[in-house]
Each structure stands twice: as C-alpha cells, then as structure tokens.
Amino acid sequence: MAIQWFPGHMNVTKKAIAERIKDIDVVIELLDARLPGSSANPMLAALTGQRHKLKVLNKQDLADPARTEAWLAWYRAQAATGAIGLDASETAPAQRLIKACRELVPQRGGMDKPVRVLICGVPNVGKSTLMNTLVGRKAAKTGDEAGVTRIEQRINLANDFYLFDTPGMLWPKILVEKSGYHLAASGAVGRNAYDETETALELIHSIKGTYAAALAERYKLDDVAAIPATHDDVLLTEIGRKRGAVMSGGRIDLQKAAEIVLNDFRSGAIGRITLETPETFTTWLAEAKAAEAERQRQKLAMKKAGRHTPRKDPRGL
C-alpha cells in the first residue's frame, strides 16, 4: 500500500514558501542523511526556481559515512548547489551552514544587502533542533513527531544574515513507493498514514542485504550469511522472539516487533544506515515517473473512449 500524507497545513506552507521566495537569496533544504533522495521535496525545485541551493544532509551521525560522501558529491555536481553533512546537535558543524550560504552568494553581505536564507525540509528532519543550535537558545519547538513546527519563524543569525524557518512539508503525491516507506520509517509521516508492521517489513527488506551484520548483532540473529535471503516476515518474527515480543501461546506480537525495529532505526541503535544511494534512487524515480505517465495515458484514453460511447435512449429504443 502506497503511503501518502499531505495535511492541510502543508498546503498553507507551500503557499507561504511561494510568497517568501521572492526575497530569498539561498534556499537550504535539510535532508535526512539516511534517505537523502526520498527526503528531498520535488515541489521545491518548482517553487525555488533558479535560487542558489544548499543541501544539508542532517543526522549524518546516524547514516552510513561512505554513502553520505557519495550523496554530497552527487549534489555538489549540480548547478548552483552546495552540500554539507551535519549533525544538528553539534554547535561547530552547525556554524558551517552560515559560511556555506555566504560562499554561494558572495555578492550579498552587509546591512545594505543582508543574506536572506529560507530553510525547508520534510517533517521531523531536525530543522527546529538545528535552529536552536544555531542561535544557542530554544527559539523553535522540537519534537520526535512529524508536524511540530506550524508557523514561519525569522531568526537573525547575524546583523546581515536572516534565516526564515518553515514548517515541515511533504508533497501531494509520493511517486516512489519506496520513498513513502523510507519516510515513514524515519518518522517524517504522521502515524495515522502508515501501518507500522508493513513499514518495518519494508525497512528490513531495504537493509537486510547491505546491513545484515548490523541486524545480526543488534538482534542476536545466528546466521548472518542467511539474512539477505531470509523472508522479511521470518526476520521480523525472529526479531520479535529475540526481543521478548511474545504473547500467550508463544505467538509473536508482530506489532510490538515492528515498533522495536522502527524505534531502533530512528535512534541509530541498529547502526549507521543509509537506505538509498544516488544511483538506486535515480532508478526508482525514473521507473515511478514512467509508471505515472502510463497511468495518465490510460486515464486519458479511457476518458476519450467514454466521450465517444453512444448514449442509450432512456426509453430503451
């Protein structure tokens, strides 16, 4: 089942960004370093136009370092785009964000031409934590649920550096099915929009090949070599058994097992994991766009066929 989540306040955010962007020099998109492709909002490209962009891979301390470097190189190869990795809770790396923005627009600076920056990102990606780290005080609400920030905030990080924070925003239709599950696994999607057991199974499927050793170590699984070929349901059941998610009669509580896996992924307890590479995500996106184009073609064909179907005489003649 494809995951979709676009509550009403996100449409308000979209309109606010469209209005604010007229006065912005640099757009920072905060991405989850564990899912950089899936956490990149495709609507921002249309909303931000030719503005300079800084891609910030947040939560890099939870991500696979080698894959983080691959993603940073991939983004830096794009026009008018910078990219840095960040752990939003660390003060020194956070300050690099200001420097990176200034480097993108060297013609801006000073009281006459302040650097005006808009920061965007999916829900629960760590924007509020980053904002609070930058200013050294609690300027923005934080939380471990999607949708904590609901209003735009402006914070002056220097006399000539204005940062505008926006609520987390997804997009109306998530084309890449894997992206929906990855976003749900990270906590970017409201809890009412996905099934935790199904999401945990998809997460296991995504990591059991590359990170089989991490799964075996975390959940005391015996045969590491067998993990990549083991069915996802079997792995989740075994994880539940090892972690005590056992009901009366010896049955495994898959819901509890799923919650354990999702919580462990979000906290980094399984290990440093990145769910996608630039190459795999590019392939997923191309396939999803092709499938969507075919759906639209069939829909249009059916609509045209319906218009040319002779109407029956209500009298039966």
Query: Over the stretch 165-214, which tens digit does the pLDDT of each residue have?
Result: 887 777 668 889 999 999 999 999 888 889 999 999 999 999 999 999 99
Query: Over the stretch 53-112, which tens digit does the pLDDT of each residue have?
Result: 999 999 999 999 999 999 999 999 999 999 999 986 677 777 788 899 999 999 999 989
**C-alpha to C-alpha distances, 303 to 291, 293, 313, nearest whole angstrom:** 18, 15, 21
Query: Over the stretch 230-241, which tens digit does the pLDDT of each residue have?
Result: 999 999 999 999
Q: Is 206 in contact with 182 (CB distance < 8 Å)?
A: yes
Nearest to 25 by CA among 78, 104, 99: 104
Q: Residue 117 — φ and ψ, nearest 5°?
A: -125, 135
Query: Over the stretch 254-303, which tens digit does the pLDDT of each residue have?
Result: 999 999 999 999 999 999 999 999 999 999 999 999 998 998 999 898 88
**C-alpha to C-alpha distances, 93 to 58, 59, 87, 153, nearest whole angstrom:** 11, 12, 7, 22
- Cα Dmax for the chain: 82
Helix (H) or strand (E) holding 49: none
